[in-house]
């Protein structure tokens, strides 16, 4: 580290009287007190943030446990809609086959009896 005597004086420092050792120590101590105060404030802020985070985490866990059944219900409904879509996809051709069978039966009865069914 450079000694203060080897550094050229700053222009604003040229007219100042050099500080005594006691004055330097007092200035350093004052700066240390300022730093300690800022660190204490930072510690309080961190403690507050940790408490808020813990509260938020517990609220998130409660929300997750409260909504687990709802999510399970929606997943079951999603599966149910898939099954209903499959049934609907099968119902279209089955309906056509039933209609064809009804028309064929009606035509058979008409030809057999000579009159439309009553």
Predicted TM-score of the model (pTM): 0.43
Average pLDDT score over the chain: 85
Residue 117 near residue 106, CB atoms below 8 Å: yes
Q: How confident is the model at residue 16 (pLDDT cuts 50, 70, 90)?
A: low
> Which is it for the CA torsion 59, 62, 68, 71, positive or negative?
negative
The CA-atom distances, in angstroms, between 107 and each of 91, 93, 100 are: 24, 21, 10
pLDDT of 1 higher than 50:
no
Rounded to 5 degrees, φ, ψ at 115 are -140, 155
pLDDT in tens, 20-59: 989 999 999 999 999 999 999 999 999 999 999 999 999 9
Query: DSSP class of residue 7?
Result: S
Domain coordinates in residue numbering, the chain: 11-113
∠ CA(97), CA(100), CA(104), 5° rounding?
Answer: 140
């Amino acid at each position: 580290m450079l000694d203060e005597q080897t550094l050229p004086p700053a222009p604003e420092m040229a007219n100042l009287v050099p500080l005594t050792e006691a004055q330097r120590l007092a200035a350093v101590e004052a700066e240390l007190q300022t730093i300690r105060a800022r660190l204490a404030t930072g510690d309080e802020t961190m403690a507050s943030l940790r408490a808020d985070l813990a509260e938020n985490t517990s609220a998130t866990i409660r929300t997750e446990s409260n909504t687990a059944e709802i999510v399970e219900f929606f997943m079951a409904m999603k599966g149910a809609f898939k099954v209903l879509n499959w049934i609907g996809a099968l119902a279209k051709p089955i309906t056509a086959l039933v209609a064809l069978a009804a028309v064929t039966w009606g035509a058979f009865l008409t030809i057999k009896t000579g009159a439309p069914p009553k």
